[in-house]
Structure 1
Amino acid sequence: MIAGLYRAGDSPLHRTRPGLKLLSLAIAGTALLALSSLWLAGAAMVLIFGLYCLAGFGLRTMIEQVRPAAFILAILAFAQLWLAGPSEALLFVTRFAVLILAAGLVTLTTRTSDLVTALEVALSPLSRFGLNVSGISLAISLAIRFIPAIGQILSELREAQIARGRKPTVLTLVVPMIIRLLKMADSIAEAIDARS
């Protein structure tokens, strides 16, 4: 199962209600994807840096949050570079890095149990339509924490291949990573079934 990301603290962000943080994350994510200006995306990066500092974290914690997704971001950036050019690729990477950092900040300052409870409260009206609200809220909270898990798996695979005397390459990492992710997805599905 995915390890907890919460780091105890007494900052204003730690004290903010989980529901408000999730709503802010949804609004910020929508706004970020709508941004078409590299300057605005850069301003969003400065803002998220300020929020990390406000929460008592620094640049090192920000790098830790983005590092697991760096490989995927690099592939997507090269695709954007090839399809749309350098400014679009930089805008794309900046927007998604800010989004990853914002989601990371929510998980760093909010206990998972509080996230799940807030999601259940927000989605409770949907239970009238027969939806499994507790399963949905658990799935969303796990999805928020999924990117760091991918980075951890990638790191473990690299270390295992180096220990065997192999040089890690994209091809030697992708297949075992997909297998591990599918196994993790099965574990998550079992957790959701057990909760429902």
Structure 2
Amino acid sequence: MVRRAAAVSRMFPRVSPVAGIGTYVPGATLVHRAPAGLKLALLIIVVTGVVASQQLWAALTAVLVAGALYLVAGVGPRHIAPVLVPLTPFLVLIGIFHTLSADVHSAVRVCAQLTAMVLLGGLVTCTTRVSAMLALFEWLLGPLRHLGLRPERVALVLALTVRSIPLAATVWRTSREAYLARGLRGRPHRMVVPVLVRLIRSAESTGEALAARGLD
């Protein structure tokens, strides 16, 4: 497990803090030093509590606490923006839907719940190395080894999934910048093919890197 975690850690080095959700932001704060298992457990407990309570004050408190934790971890506003900006259009649509189908109070509560979940989830990924997450997943899935399942393979898939979120966002942003640099406007569907090609090439490179390290 240690060998596999180290190999994955080398495959996914430290990247820019503004790359988006799923990106590790180096630091030595208390939030960074907390065990991955503890952070994941607290995330599940808090999110479950906020959703189960169905209270606006609980959702707003969770948002404020998440914001405070970002500051404690040294992950300031410029790191929070890439997490929230992609969520904004969905929050607007959800808010309108709940306002029309229920009331404004429900709309604000649901939007606050979603914001808190995304912020807290983003905080965990921003302050936890991929190798630590991988080791945690392997440990959690360990009992399934008796059923013939290989925990290390499932953990690797989960780790790669987490990593693919910021990668896809980065590829889309790069393609869009290249599209605009050529003086093109409108017809965003033209970026679909370049994005897919880059993602496929990235997947092939990842597969080759895994094979080269014996992670078959």
Superposition TM-score, scaled by structure 1 size: 0.76
Look up the match of 1:43.
61
Look up the match of 2:80.
62
The separation in 2 between residues aligned to 1:182 and 1:48, in whole angstroms, is 31
Ranges in structure 2 where 5+ consecutive residues have no aligned partner: 1-10, 15-22
Tell me which amino acid in the other structure corresponds to 1:124. Answer: G
Identity, % of aligned positions: 28
Q: What does 1:1-196 align with in structure 2 at a 5 Å threshold? A: 4=14, 5-34=23-52, 36-67=54-85, 69-70=86-87, 73-74=88-89, 76-81=90-95, 83-85=97-99, 87=104, 88-168=106-186, 171-173=189-191, 175-176=192-193, 179=196, 183=200, 186-187=203-204, 190=207, 194=211, 195-196=215-216
Tell me which amino acid in the other structure corresponds to 2:99. Answer: G
1:2: Cα distance to partner? Answer: 6.4
Residue 85 of structure 1: SS of its match in structure 2? helix
Q: Does structure 2 retain, via aligned residues, the 8 Å contact 1:138–1:192?
A: no
Higher mean C-alpha deviation, range 140-149 or range 101-110: 140-149
Q: Does structure 2 retain, via aligned residues, the 8 Å contact 1:32–1:41?
A: yes
1:160: Cα distance to partner? Answer: 1.6
Superposition TM-score, scaled by structure 2 size: 0.70
1:139: Cα distance to partner? Answer: 2.1
The separation in 1 between residues aligned to 2:110 and 2:187, in whole angstroms, is 25
Residue 28 of structure 2: SS of its match in structure 1? coil
Ranges in structure 1 where 5+ consecutive residues have no aligned partner: none
Higher mean C-alpha deviation, range 53-62 or range 31-40: 31-40
What is the aligned residue count?
A: 191
